[in-house]
Amino acid sequence: MEIRFAKREDTPKILRFIRALAEYEKLSGEVVATEALLEEWIFDKGKAETIFAVEDGKEVGFALFFHNFSTFLGRAGIYLEDLFVLPEYRGRGYGTALLKKLAALAVERGCGRLEWSCLDWNSPSIGFYKALGAVPMEEWTVFRVAGETLRTLAKQDS
User: Please, what is the minimum distance in Å from the beta carbon of residue 132 to a second copy?
Assistant: 6
Q: Which is nearer to a second copy, 87 or 135 (CB)?
A: 135
Cβ distance 53 to 97 under 8 Å? Answer: yes
79 has catalytic annotation? no
User: Please, what is the minimum distance in Å from the beta carbon of residue 145 to a second copy?
Assistant: 5
4 binds a second copy (CB under 8 A): no
Q: Is 17 exposed, middle or buried (0-12, 13-18, 19+ CB in 10 A)?
A: buried
Cβ distance 65 to 42 under 8 Å? Answer: no
Under rule CB under 8 A, which residues in 8-27 are in contact with a second copy? 15, 18, 21-22, 27
Q: Which is nearer to a second copy, 15 or 54 (CB)?
A: 15
Beta strand segments in 6-89, E: 49-55, 58-70, 75-85
Q: Which is nearer to a second copy, 90 or 145 (CB)?
A: 145
Q: Residue 86 phi/psi, 5° resolution?
A: -50, 135
Q: What residues does 70 pair with on adjacent strands?
A: 75
Cβ distance 37 to 82 under 8 Å? Answer: no
Cβ distance 62 to 4 under 8 Å? Answer: no
Determine which residue in the list 6, 38, 53, 60 makes contact with a second copy, applying CB under 8 A.
38
User: Please, what is the minimum distance in Å from the beta carbon of residue 153 to a second copy?
Assistant: 4
Which one from 79, 89, 94, 129 is the annotated catalytic residue?
Answer: 129
Under rule CB under 8 A, which residues in 85-144 are in contact with a second copy? 97, 99-101, 103-104, 106-108, 112-121, 126, 129, 132-144
Catalytic residue annotation: 129
